């Protein structure tokens, strides 16, 4: 029997581009699994969506971002992979750094010494090469396809 949905889980992500074809990806080991996704995370109670992505940027990058515009909000039903009674709503913001990048950018996925919960590395993904299956989550895959279409790759 399928678990009934009881809660919304609101997720906030940054789409940060470098040039026309490079997009920032986050490789993480969380909840005992490897995941490749766009940078971001959960929205806290009492927070607006723009405030949430700015907070997430400070937590993940340790530097500020500037929001350019809203890019996408989930427009289909998506059950949470981790909490079966939660429905996901993901909001994506186009953003840029307000100053040169100060954190390490890797050239390979999962560029950390051990698979330990909380480990994270960042890299540029090339929209001309990335495939939806390179990303872990269904909503990110939808956004990747949109980015490819907007960059006239698809």
Where does residue 4 rank: exposed (0-12), middle (13-18), buried (19+ CB within 10 A)?
exposed
Q: Is residue 154 scored above 90 in pLDDT?
A: no
What pLDDT score does 132 carry?
Answer: 97
Q: Global pTM?
A: 0.94
Q: Has residue 132 been placed in a domain?
A: yes
**Tens digit of pLDDT for each residue in 96-147?**
999 999 999 999 999 998 889 989 999 999 999 999 999 999 999 999 999 9
Question: Can you tell me whether residue 47 is helix, strand or coil?
Answer: coil
> Does residue 2 lie in a domain region?
no
pLDDT tens digits along 38-65: 999 999 999 999 999 999 999 999 999 9
Residue 35, class by beta-carbon neighbours within 10 Å (0-12 exposed, 13-18 middle, 19+ buried)?
middle
Number of domain units in the chain: 1
> What CATH number has the domain bearing residue 124?
3.90.79.10
Whether residue 70 lies inside any domain: the answer is yes
Domain enclosing residue 137, as ranges: 7-150
């Amino acid at each position: 029997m399928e678990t009934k949905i009881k809660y919304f889980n609101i997720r906030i992500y940054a789409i940060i581009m470098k040039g026309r074809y490079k997009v920032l990806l986050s490789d993480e080991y969380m909840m005992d699994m490897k995941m490749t996704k766009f940078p971001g995370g959960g929205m806290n109670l009492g927070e607006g969506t723009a405030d949430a992505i700015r907070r997430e940027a400070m937590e993940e990058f340790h530097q500020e971002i500037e929001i350019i515009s809203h890019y996408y909000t989930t427009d289909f039903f998506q059950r949470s992979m981790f909490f079966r009674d939660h429905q996901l709503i993901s909001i994506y913001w186009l953003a840029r750094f307000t100053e040169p990048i100060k954190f390490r950018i890797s050239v390979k996925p999962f560029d950390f010494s051990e698979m330990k919960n909380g480990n994270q590395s960042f890299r540029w993904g090339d929209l001309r090469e990335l495939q939806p299956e390179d990303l872990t989550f269904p909503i990110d895959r939808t956004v990747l396809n949109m980015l490819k279409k907007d960059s006239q790759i698809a």
